[in-house]
């Protein structure tokens, strides 16, 4: 009896265990001890997600089990499978990284933590939260590449079940999949996953176009069957005469790749589907080149359409011979020739022949993947999260340019790469000191795009500095990152100048100036703020990290302060010397929330949560924002908004409203925000005393069987 069968025989019967039983059957390559840990991870995850449901109405644990199943098909190790079963535990339940590490080991906990999304409360916008989540994930991947494999499997299952989401959310997730996750799968060489992610993303982002294309594609494939059989028979017979053993098959056309070719190459559907694709898998590299000769004798090759990815592999490790031929009646034939190992690598990429330890050198795909991920680590200081995301997006597109250094080494660069991109690819210092370039021994401008096979030489000068204008034409992430780092240094000098002006103005408002501030007072203030020099203070103010009015109050002695009583400590909301206080309706602050106050000419002091999206204006108007805090006791109620996803049933609105009233909370307003099939989303505006009272209201709603999800609405 196999290890999997032995464990299965001990499992309890019942429908709720069917999914894990099917998973364990697919994990028969693991040991009994490893399978036992996988089952414990399932039990832990099922208990943690107890009562939670997906949009489809299924128990939430079905999603982690499905993600683990995708990784099982790739034959990943037991730690990856455990992490897949637990990948949403940190984000969606009360368990933290330490509790997972105690039960399943630090490696599993690190993978789960890498996959988990960041808490969006600390970001100004959804876009920044999304970008920062991707940054965290990729940096975690640099430590352990299994993080990205779990994340890709998670995204693949979410895409398979995306039909239960509202149309607007479907479109957003599909676009993100096509722009980020499918290219990452391609970059790591996982072709199977990349193709499915692309096709699913295309279907959800462009549903009408995909239906029309799919219908016509099926029709054209049906019409081509006789021609495909004829070509297959011809190639098989020729290989048999040459004593070459191999498997010849017709290559499927994928929906999104057809759409992309139509759009980028300006071709009609008929022009694309009239190209016949074939794949030949043989025993060794020598046989690949012999087979190439066989097919070239059968059909005339098209000039300039041969690519040797065996001698020069793609950046993701992909190897194959590609050739395009004139087939029967002049129809184009595209042929790929590769070995069985190359074919496995082409389909599964870094997941083929699974090795993840740093000491393993058996897989070129792993080495190339680590090289790419290391560049991601180097880019993490390249400005904001959105800039990092854009750098990743640029770096994900397939490379098409192979150029040589003067010593004959090959560098792989993205299409459109320039001499400056080449210089930074050699080394950051070479890029920073670049003043000119020679391509094939001819002097060329630095913005010259490079082509395949060219030899590039960079001319440097010791005292040279990067030109800010290079940002307008470089295309590689490394070049953009280095240039942004240089420009950031320039911006800091501007921040010092701005900070000085802001502080001078704030001191002037207090009838003071920096010359009048005692040296001891200035030194004490710098020490309190953890700064070394007055220049550092100016920079902090100019960059928006310190508020000029607050710093000015710290610097002014009590006997120098005007009649208004200003305290060094943050203001309390109650007792603000007659200032009108209002509470922002964009983020609904509650006692115990961290808050900031905005001085508005028409509304007095407007209180916002620190996580409010409107604080994006903080850096634009630093003199208008001041820190405030709650009094220790408040004897009033505050408005708050909660969003409740429910199953559509008669009386469900009344039932939820009754539950809220039972929690000693008044309902000010309620509306149905959106409907999606059998589910609805309700938004309630309620009156609560503080965060603890709101949490009690949410807990009460969460216990209701018809409720799928409940959360506080944030700006």
**Would you please indicate which residues are annotated as catalytic (active-site) residues?**
91-92
In sequence order, the β-bridge partners of residue 600 are 604
Close Cβ partners of 156 (under 8 Å, ≥ 6 residues apart):
67, 70, 193, 196, 197, 200
Query: Residue 51 class from Cβ within 10 Å (0-12 exposed, 13-18 middle, 19+ buried)?
Result: exposed
> Taking Cα atoms as reference points, which of 297, 298, 324 lies closest to residue 233?
298
Task: Report the C-alpha gap between 277 and 300 in whole angstroms.
Answer: 15
Could you tell me if 350 and 189 are in contact, meaning their C-beta atoms sit under 8 angstroms apart? yes
For 567, the token pair is: 């305290």
Exposure class string for 265-300: b at 16+ Cβ within 10 A, else e: eeeebeebbeebbbbbbbeebebbebbbebbeebbe
Task: Report the C-alpha gap between 169 and 126 in whole angstroms.
Answer: 13
Q: How far is CA 633 from CA 577, 690, 695, in A?
A: 18, 10, 18
> Angle of helix 32-48 relative to helix 18-26, nearest 10 degrees?
150
Q: How far is CA 446 from CA 159, 416, 452, 470, 484, in A?
A: 43, 13, 17, 9, 18
For 539, the token pair is: 């920079």
> Taking Cα atoms as reference points, which of 432, 549, 564, 436 lies closest to residue 489?
432
Could you tell me if 459 and 420 are in contact, meaning their C-beta atoms sit under 8 angstroms apart? no
Q: How far is CA 510 from CA 325, 516, 549, 555, in A?
A: 82, 12, 9, 10
Phi-psi region of 628 (alpha: psi -120 to 50; beta: other; left: phi over 0): beta
Give me the long-range contacts of 215-223 (CB less than 8 A, separation at least 24). Answer: 216/269, 216/273, 217/253, 217/255, 217/258, 217/269, 217/273, 220/269, 220/270, 220/273, 220/274, 221/253, 221/273
Could you tell me if 289 and 243 are in contact, meaning their C-beta atoms sit under 8 angstroms apart? no
Q: How far is CA 98 from CA 112, 113, 620, 653, in A?
A: 11, 10, 40, 39
Task: Report the C-alpha gap between 521 and 554 in whole angstroms.
Answer: 8
Pairing of strands 638-647, 321-326: unpaired
Task: Report the C-alpha gap between 35 and 445 in whole angstroms.
Answer: 61
Task: Report the C-alpha gap between 57 and 55 in whole angstroms.
Answer: 5
Give me the long-range contacts of 354-357 (CB less than 8 A, separation at least 24). Answer: 354/74, 354/75, 354/76, 354/77, 356/77, 356/144, 356/145, 356/146
Task: Report the C-alpha gap between 554 and 226 in whole angstroms.
Answer: 86
Q: Where are the alpha helices (DSSP H) in 456-576?
A: 477-509, 519-528, 534-542, 548-555
Could you tell me if 283 and 333 are in contact, meaning their C-beta atoms sit under 8 angstroms apart? no
CB-CB neighbours of 9 under 10 Å: 8
Task: Report the C-alpha gap between 170 and 661 in whole angstroms.
Answer: 34
- Residue 128, classed as helix, strand or coil, is helix
Element counts in the chain: helices (H) and strands (E)? 28, 20
Could you tell me if 285 and 342 are in contact, meaning their C-beta atoms sit under 8 angstroms apart? no
Could you tell me if 639 and 606 are in contact, meaning their C-beta atoms sit under 8 angstroms apart? no
> Taking Cα atoms as reference points, which of 119, 169, 107, 175 lies closest to residue 144?
107
Q: How many CA atoms lie within 13 A of 556 on its CB side?
A: 27
């Amino acid at each position: 009896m196999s290890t999997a069968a032995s464990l299965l025989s001990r499992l309890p019967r019942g429908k709720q265990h069917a999914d894990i039983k099917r998973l364990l059957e697919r994990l028969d390559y693991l040991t009994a001890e490893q399978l036992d840990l996988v089952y414990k991870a399932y039990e832990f995850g099922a208990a943690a997600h107890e009562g939670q449901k997906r949009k489809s109405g299924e128990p939430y644990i079905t999603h982690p089990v499905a993600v683990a199943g995708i990784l099982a098909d790739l034959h990943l190790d037991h730690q990856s499978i455990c992490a897949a079963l637990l990948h949403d535990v940190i984000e969606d339940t009360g368990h933290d990284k330490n509790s997972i590490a105690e039960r399943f080991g630090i490696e599993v906990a690190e993978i789960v933590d890498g996959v988990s999304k960041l808490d969006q409360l600390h970001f100004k916008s959804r876009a920044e939260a999304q970008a920062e989540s991707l940054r965290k994930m990729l940096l975690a991947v640099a430590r352990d590449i299994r993080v990205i494999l779990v994340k890709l499997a998670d995204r693949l299952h979410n895409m398979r079940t995306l039909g239960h989401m509202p149309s607007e959310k479907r479109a957003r997730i599909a676009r993100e999949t096509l722009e980020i996750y499918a290219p990452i799968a391609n970059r790591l060489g996982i072709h199977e996953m990349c193709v499915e992610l692309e096709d699913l993303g295309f279907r959800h982002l462009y549903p009408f176009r995909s239906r029309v294309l799919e219908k016509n594609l099926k029709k054209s494939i049906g019409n081509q069957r006789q021609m495909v059989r004829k070509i297959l028979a011809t190639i098989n017979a020729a290989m048999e005469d040459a004593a070459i053993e191999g498997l010849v098959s017709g290559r499927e056309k994928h929906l999104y790749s057809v759409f992309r070719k139509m759009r980028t190459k300006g071709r009609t559907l008929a022009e694309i589907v009239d190209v016949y694709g074939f794949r030949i898998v043989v025993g060794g590299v020598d046989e690949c080149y012999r087979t190439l000769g066989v097919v070239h004798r059968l059909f005339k090759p098209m000039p300039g359409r041969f690519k040797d990815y065996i001698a020069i592999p793609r950046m993701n490790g992909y190897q194959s011979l590609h050739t395009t031929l004139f087939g029967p009646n002049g129809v184009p034939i595209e042929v790929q020739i590769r070995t069985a190992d190359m074919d496995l690598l082409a389909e599964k990429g870094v997941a083929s022949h699974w090795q993840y330890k740093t000491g393993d050198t058996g897989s070129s795909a792993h080495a190339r993947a680590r090289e790419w991920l290391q560049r991601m680590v180097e880019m993490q200081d390249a400005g904001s999260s959105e800039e990092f995301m854009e750098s990743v997006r640029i770096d994900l597109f397939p490379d098409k340019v192979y150029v040589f250094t003067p010593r004959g080494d090959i560098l792989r660069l993205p299409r459109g790469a320039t001499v400056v991109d080449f210089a930074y690819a050699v080394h950051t210092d070479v890029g920073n000191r670049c003043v000119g370039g020679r391509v094939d021994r001819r002097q060329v401008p630095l913005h010259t795009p490079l082509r395949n096979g060219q030899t590039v030489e960079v001319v440097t000068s010791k005292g040279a500095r990067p030109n800010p204008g290079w940002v307008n034409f470089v295309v590689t992430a490394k070049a953009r990152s280095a240039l942004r780092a240089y420009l950031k240094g320039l911006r800091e000098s501007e921040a010092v100048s701005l900070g000085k002006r802001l502080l001078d103005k704030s001191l002037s408002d207090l009838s003071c100036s920096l010359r009048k501030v005692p040296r001891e007072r200035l030194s004490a203030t710098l020490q309190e703020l953890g700064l070394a020099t007055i220049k550092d203070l100016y920079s902090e103010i100019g960059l928006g990290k310190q508020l000029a009015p607050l710093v000015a109050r710290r610097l002014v002695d009590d006997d120098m302060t005007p009649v208004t009583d200003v305290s060094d400590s943050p203001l309390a909301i109650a007792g603000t010397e007659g200032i009108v206080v209002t509470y922002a309706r964009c983020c609904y602050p509650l006692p115990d929330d961290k808050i900031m106050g905005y001085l508005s000419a028409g509304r007095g002091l407007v209180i916002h949560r620190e996580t409010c999206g409107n604080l994006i204006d903080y850096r634009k108007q630093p003199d208008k924002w001041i820190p405030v805090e709650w009094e220790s006791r408040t004897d009033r109620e505050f408005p708050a908004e909660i969003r409740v996803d429910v199953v559509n049933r008669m009386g469900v609105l009344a039932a939820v409203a009754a539950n809220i009233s039972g929690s000693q909370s008044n309902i000010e307003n309620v509306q149905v925000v959106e409907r999606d099939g059998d589910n609805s989303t309700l938004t309630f505006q309620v009156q609560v005393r503080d965060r603890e009272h709101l949490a009690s209201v949410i807990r009460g709603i969460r216990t209701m069987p018809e409720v799928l999800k409940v959360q506080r609405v944030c700006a």
